[in-house]
Amino acid sequence: MEATAKHLLDWYDANARVLPWRAPPGAPPPDPYRVWLSEVMLQQTTVAAVGPYFAKFLALWPTVQDLAAAEDAEVMSAWAGLGYYARARNLLACARAVAARGGVFPDTEEGLRELPGVGAYTAAAVAAIAFARRAAVVDANVERVVSRLYAIATPLPQAKAEIRARTEQLTPNDRPGDFAQAMMDLGATVCTVRAPRCLLCPLSADCAGRRLGPEQFPVKAPKRAKPQRRGQAFWIERDGAVWLVRRTDKGMLGGMRALPDNGWSARSDGEGAPPLAGPWQDLGTVRHSFTHFDLDLQLMLYSGADWARLEQQPGEWWPAAQLDRAGLPTLFAKAARLAPETDGEN
């Protein structure tokens, strides 16, 4: 085990990716706030997608206390487009809990797990990378490396316990943060999902999966077909401004600005009434894939003028020409592209 860790760390010293939230190999650990922020953003999201958001958040909120003091709407708007919006709500809850502790993150896995929204993976990653604690850090890249290294034949997700145990055995007492990031980099750049570059791998001599055919690992259970949902969103425009609402804090895309809709959810098609009685015109449909279902969202254009009734409802007029600044979730941004261009008259 010690030889495996040494081979990997030697490779990492020469090949580590340069990322804005990292310290160079062998350097003192980075600021825990940067580590935590990056790890939350990187959940189910690529490094390339996270980079600009990470820079934007640091520019707006340089410290965890700054983030804790931010308005919910501002944070949700800044997060728009990154997806998995529950992460943004958890981010705020965690920042406020840390701020209540004087802005100091707990320095152990156990302490970090007590923070709102911090699960096993994030706690292990922050403990190892920010505080040099020995912790088994297992993301999708590490799962792939370890399952191939030991040719683990148990399908995911049942194999997760064995993969974690193997990772725990491999993790050294010295430089555990660098080791965790080395495993991530190896999976991202060498032990890739397709066409792994085994000739460049520092662990290839000991890899059981290489001899059997690495691409068969990790073994995955057959995917279930996603449910197909349908819903409607409503485009209501007046004098070059479009009517937006704020979604409830809980549920799909909670707390985000959005177009009004008919109440679709992950479990059912929308059944709610439009915000106004017609006339309505069908502008087309966009498809969007969520983790557990696909949604066909039909965009309906209002061509009436019952503004008094509309303005009795919660919402706001937003300049249509500046809709990209509203922080709409990707689904509603896609739907908005179906709307006709406006010249400022209605």
Q: In the chain, pLDDT over 70 holds for what percent of residues?
A: 98
Tally the domains of the chain.
3
- Position 110 in a domain: yes
- Position 99 in a domain: yes
Q: Report the catalytic residues.
A: 39
d(CA 162, CA 151): 11
Q: Is the pLDDT of residue 133 over 70?
A: yes
Residues 227 and 33: beta-carbon distance below 8 Å: no
Q: Of how many residues is the chain composed?
A: 346
The pLDDT confidence band at residue 317, using thresholds 50, 70 and 90, is very high
Q: What is the pLDDT of residue 342?
A: 57
Q: Is the pLDDT of residue 343 over 60?
A: no
d(CA 175, CA 171): 9
Q: Is the pLDDT of residue 194 over 60?
A: yes
Cβ burial 88-102 (10 Å sphere, 16+ → b, else e): bbbbbebbbbbbeee
Q: What is the pLDDT of residue 252?
A: 85
Q: Each residue of 206-241: pLDDT tens digit? A: 999 999 999 999 999 888 889 999 999 999 999 999
Q: Please tell me the least confidently modeled range out of 71-80, 109-118, 140-149.
A: 71-80
- Position 23 in a domain: no
Question: DSSP readout, 215-257?
Answer: GG-S-BPPPPPPPEEEEEEEE-EETTEEEEEE--SSSTTTT-E
Q: Are residues 182 and 140 in the same domain?
A: yes
Q: Are residues 167 and 123 in the same domain?
A: no
- Between strands 316-319 and 241-246, the pairing is antiparallel
Q: Which residue, of 74, 99, 131, is where some domain finishes? A: 131
Q: Are residues 60 and 201 in the same domain?
A: no
Q: What is the pLDDT of residue 85?
A: 85
Q: Which residue, of 90, 110, 131, is where some domain finishes? A: 131
Q: What is the pLDDT of residue 344?
A: 44
Q: What is the pLDDT of residue 83?
A: 85
- Position 346 in a domain: no
Q: Are residues 215 and 244 in the same domain?
A: no
- Position 19 in a domain: no
Q: Is the pLDDT of residue 309 over 50?
A: yes
d(CA 54, CA 34): 9
Q: Are residues 236 and 261 in the same domain?
A: yes
Q: Are residues 69 and 34 in the same domain?
A: yes
Our measurement of the distance from residue 143's CA atom to the centroid of its chain's CA atoms, rounded to an integer in Å, reads 18
Q: Is the pLDDT of residue 185 over 70?
A: yes
Q: Are residues 197 and 289 in the same domain?
A: no
- Position 20 in a domain: no
- Position 54 in a domain: yes
* Phi, psi values for residue 338, rounded to 5°: -80, -15
Considering the entire predicted model, what is its pTM? 0.81
Q: What is the pLDDT of residue 345?
A: 42
Q: Are residues 40 and 115 in the same domain?
A: yes
Q: What is the residue range of 272's domain?
A: 228-336
- End-to-end Cα, the chain, rounded Å: 71
- Position 53 in a domain: yes
Highest mean pLDDT range out of 143-157, 260-274, 318-332?
A: 143-157
The pLDDT confidence band at residue 251, using thresholds 50, 70 and 90, is confident
Q: What is the pLDDT of residue 346?
A: 40
Residues 252 and 265: beta-carbon distance below 8 Å: yes
Q: Are residues 216 and 260 in the same domain?
A: no
Q: Are residues 170 and 111 in the same domain?
A: no
Q: Each residue of 17-46: pLDDT tens digit? A: 999 999 999 999 999 999 999 999 999 899
Q: In CATH, what number is assigned to the domain containing residue 149?
A: 1.10.1670.10
For range 80-95, the mean pLDDT: 91
The pLDDT confidence band at residue 341, using thresholds 50, 70 and 90, is confident
Q: Please tell me the least confidently modeled range out of 85-89, 105-109, 165-169, 259-263.
A: 85-89
Q: Please tell me the least confidently modeled range out of 73-82, 140-149, 171-180.
A: 73-82
Residues 120 and 39: beta-carbon distance below 8 Å: no
Identify the H or E element spanning 40: helix 32-42
Q: In CATH, what number is assigned to the domain containing residue 266?
A: 3.90.79.10
Q: What is the mean pLDDT of the chain?
A: 94
